[in-house]
Amino acid sequence: MLKYFNSLLVIVLISISFYRYYTNNSLSIYYFNIGQGDSSLVITPDNKTILIDGGPDKVVLTELGKVLPFWSRNLDLVILSHPDLDHIGGLTQVIQRYQVKEIILNSKQEAISLEDQFFQEEIIRQKISPQIAQRGDRMMVGCCTVLNFFSKDMIDYKGKVSVNARSLAFVLSYQGVDFFYGGDLDTENELEVATNITGKIEIVKISHHGSKYSSSAEFFEKLKPEFAIISVGKDNRFGHPHQETLSLLEKEEISWIRTDEKGTIKIEVKEGNYQVTSNK
């Protein structure tokens, strides 16, 4: 009898999990606490999943496992902003563990690192044909989540522009709430991107982990963000986020939150409003 009860309890719990997962009516973005790097997961109201960057190593798998249901082994979209280790390091393990439907890259080029080479080889092995994002591209994910890309056109770029300067920049929009992603763009390129964005951006993921070489006053004045996310590792050797960046955020009256202090950060958008929570 007890065995029957336990089996029934498991079925009920799984059913509740399925119901909660598939009747979600809000958009959730998780900015993972993955050390010195970047990785965030978007879950749309119709349960499409978008992974943006993969952090420096396989820690991203642990973070995904905390958020996604145990039965879920699919990712609808993976976006790689640029192939620096702290953004690409965990993606090879991700596409080995999860069935990835589509990948978007910033440019088509030769592998710049061993991690990049492993990632490109795994894409070929998985028979995934990545898309190269261009300025002006617009993508609808699911019923109502929109991605607008604003980066320079660098489809086959092999010049002297730095890897950071080639970072994908895009705005994710849902119910009138807009999120800016800029990878590791520097001040000059970040501002150039901002000149092509119309309207206010509510939430900005601070480029390059709060480096003083990104996020200028002109950039903030153009986008007028209300809130900023800083993805950064505790006591990192780069000194990120730099005090100049934090002082500027304070001067511009932009609230911010850091993964090294608050852990994984969740922003939920529902009925045109957003709420910020963390696991610390």
**102 domain residue, yes or no:** yes
CB 163, CB 187: distance < 8 Å: no
Amino acid 17: pLDDT: 46
**15 domain residue, yes or no:** no
Amino acid 110: pLDDT: 66
Number of structural domains, the chain? 1
Alpha-carbon separation of residue 10 from 16, 19, 119, 178 (angstroms): 10, 14, 38, 39
Q: Find the CATH number of the domain harbouring 177.
A: 3.60.15.10
Amino acid 107: pLDDT: 79
CA distance 165 to 193: 11
* 3-class secondary-structure state, position 264: coil
Amino acid 166: pLDDT: 86
Q: Which residues contact 113 (CB under 8 A, 6 or more apart)?
A: 83, 84, 85, 88
Amino acid making up residue 223: L
Q: Which residues contact 54 (CB under 8 A, 6 or more apart)?
A: 39, 60, 78, 80, 87, 88, 89, 90, 91, 93, 94
Q: Which residues contact 77 (CB under 8 A, 6 or more apart)?
A: 48, 49, 50, 51, 100, 101, 102, 103, 104, 141
pLDDT by residue for the chain (280 residues), tens only, comes to 555 544 444 444 444 444 444 556 899 999 999 999 999 999 999 999 999 999 999 999 999 999 999 899 999 999 999 999 999 999 999 999 999 999 999 877 666 778 899 999 999 999 999 999 988 999 999 999 999 999 765 544 455 667 888 899 999 999 999 999 999 999 999 999 999 999 999 999 999 999 999 999 999 999 999 999 999 999 999 999 999 999 999 999 999 999 999 999 999 999 999 999 998 8
CB 78, CB 103: distance < 8 Å: yes
**14 domain residue, yes or no:** no
Is this structure's pTM higher than 0.75? Answer: yes
**16 domain residue, yes or no:** no
Q: How many other CB atoms are found less than 10 A from the CB of residue 97?
A: 15
Amino acid 11: pLDDT: 47
Amino acid 160: pLDDT: 60
Amino acid 262: pLDDT: 97
- Domain limits for position 254: 25-278
